[in-house]
Structure 1
Amino acid sequence: MQNVWVVADDTDREGGYVVERLREVAQRVSYVDRDELTGEALGAADDLVLLLGSVRSAHDPAQAAVVEAEAATIGASLDAGVPVLGICYGAQLLARALGGTSYRGPRLEIGLIEVETDDPTLCPPGPWAQSHSDVFVAPPTSRVLGRTDVGPQAIADTSRAARALAWQFHPEVVPTTFARWARGDAEAARAIGVDAEAVIAEVAAAASASRERARLLTDAAVSWLTARA
């Protein structure tokens, strides 16, 4: 793999364990501000596009122009033979680019949560860190790999010139980043009976195991995404 193009908000480029591993297997990792996407493909066939999460909602009308440009960039990249990997908001954008959608979920998912899986290689059961209120609807061309009672947790798609894979959960997140997210969602967590400080401590205690799971999952994802048909 030559280059990894990491699409992220300009104010939040924390790729954590996943980007840490990608730096070890790719020649270069470059960040791209998602507000500057134009709909044109990123990279070449030997590259990878990684879509990180965001505080935005993909179904927010105020973000429609940014969402449309990123979805067009995803589609153009896949059609150009560049595989795409999405995480959380990135998974929602990938779903939308392939014909699915996203919406506000019934409740916040936060903390270390196990996933019911149909593919333990590309979507192991975890537990995985979660911090989101939005849910994606899988495109008709995609295979759902895992789920919780709130919604899909992973999809894989082989309908374009390059492969696409997405996770709603956060394999990349490190304890300090998760703590910031959880404290920002403390009120919503309290509403569903979850203590933010308790889940922050849980994620911190599991850091070593989470990092190893993330490294293994990143390797599996890269292997699958870059496989030739």
Structure 2
Amino acid sequence: MTRDVLAIRHVPFEDLGLLEPLLTTRGYRTSYRDIVEPITQEAALAPDLLVVLGGPVGVYDTGAYPFLKAEQQAIAARLHAGRPVLGVCLGAQLVAAALGADVAPTGRTEIGYGPLTLTDEGRGSVLAPLDGVPVLHWHGDQFAVPVGAVRLAETPGFPNQAFSIGAHVLGLQFHLEADHTQIERWLVGHAHELAGAGVDPNRVRADAEVHGPRLADAARHVFEAWLDGNE
């Protein structure tokens, strides 16, 4: 039986990445909804799985980017219906906000490959394969953990790195989906942000080569486990 996945994409190079071939292998039919096509609540409720991807804007930037309000409302409708949702970076922040949690800028950035510390709950969750594995961080905003959610991971500068609600909602501040072999697209697409944060793209590029293959393997195990819980 063919199942449908809808991915909300905010910038072209932040796509499903490593997750897409896993979905295809499992028989999912994938489609993207770019921000030029505002998502409706009906469209968000329709697919078997909704993935909300990252982007360089803030949840609170609704005055400058009005689509964010409709997107959050559509995500809230899906969450209320108890349908599976995966949120990545901005996507996780939108999920948190849709659940009533605060999302705000921190005045600092976390960009590049670095380890997570899993909570006790995280070590018993689908994120267990990430224990000791550097992941790709690319954020400056922080979400609060929604009421009723379980906090799964942290870093020294960002104590809320992941949360879950049951088996069907997973929010990740970091980028498990990013394909390290495509890191150049990220470095060019976010060149201004890298320069502003004083991050050397050569360091990120080198770290992608060193840590990317191991992270890709761990990410596949995480995604497979999460999908297993939603089928």
TM-score by length of 1: 0.85
What is the aligned partner in structure 1 of residue 184 from structure 2?
A: 179
| Preserved contact between residue 11 and residue 55 of structure 2 (Cα < 8 Å) | no
CA distance in 1, matches of 2:172, 2:145: 11
Given that residues 42 and 82 in structure 1 are in contact (C-alpha distance below 8 angstroms), is that contact kept between their aligned partners in structure 2?
Answer: no
Q: Render the CA deviation track for 1:110-150: whole Å, top value 9, x for unaligned.
A: 11111111213333333101111111111122111111122
Percent same amino acid at aligned positions? 30
> Are 1:5 and 2:6 an aligned pair?
yes
Q: Unaligned 5+ residue runs, structure 2?
A: none
Alpha-carbon distance in 2 for matches of 1:41, 1:81: 15
Judge which range, 89-98 or 114-123, deviates more. Answer: 114-123
Q: Deviations over 1:152-196 (max 9, x none)?
A: 1101124xxx83111000011123543343451332342xxx432
Give distance in 2, aligned partners of 1:206 and 1:115. 13
CA deviation after TM superposition for structure 1 residue 74, in Å? 1.2
Partner of 1:154: 162
With over 3 angstroms needed to count, the CA separation of the structure-2 counterparts of 1:207 and 1:12, relative to structure 1, is: closer
Residue 63 of structure 2 aligns to a residue whose secondary structure is helix
- Higher alpha-carbon deviation: 207-216 or 18-27: 18-27
Tell me: CA distance 1:105–1:10, structure 2 relative to 1, closer, same or farther (3 Å): closer
- Stretches of structure 1 that go unaligned for 5 or more consecutive residues are none
CA separation of 1:79/1:26 partners in 2, compared to 1, >3 Å: closer, same or farther? farther
Give the equivalent residue in structure 1 for 2:50: 49
What TM-score does the superposition give when structure 2 sets the normalisation length?
A: 0.84
Deviations 1:189-215 (A, max 9, x none): 42xxx4321121111233321221111
Q: Which residue is 1:104 aligned to?
A: 105
Instruction: Find the aligned partners of 2:183 and 2:110 in 1 and give their Cα distance.
Output: 13
Q: Which residue of 2 aligns with 1:129?
A: 136
Amino acid aligned to 1:78: L
Q: 3-state DSSP class of the match of 1:105?
A: strand
Corresponding residue to 1:223 among 206, 223, 228:
228
> Any idea what SS the aligned residue of 1:36 has?
coil
Whether 2:141 is the aligned partner of 1:167: answer: no
Shift of 1:90: 0.2
User: Which of 28, 38, 41 in structure 1 is aligned with 2:40?
Assistant: 38
Correspondence 1:203 to 2:201: no
Quick one: structure 1 residues 101 and 14, their matched pair in 2 at CA, closer, same or farther if it must change by over 3 Å? same
Measure how far apart 1:49 and its partner are: 0.5
Give the structure 2 partner of residue 75 of structure 1: 76
2: distance between equivalents of 1:2 and 1:170? Answer: 24
More displaced stretch, 46-55 vs 117-126: 117-126
Q: 1:182 to 1:103 in 2, by over 3 A?
A: farther
> 1 CA distance for matches of 2:31 and 2:12?
15
3-state SS of the aligned residue for 2:196?
helix
In angstroms, what is the RMSD of aligned CA positions?
A: 2.3
User: What is residue 219 of structure 2 aligned with on the other side?
Assistant: 214
Contact 1:89/1:168 (<8 A) preserved:
yes
Partner residue, 2:196 = 188
User: For residues 24 and 101 of structure 1, what CA distance do their matches in structure 2 show?
Assistant: 36
Number of residue-to-residue matches in the alignment:
219
Q: What secondary structure, in the 3-state scheme, does the structure 1 residue paired with 2:146 have?
A: coil
Distance in 2 separating the partners of 1:206 and 1:173: 12
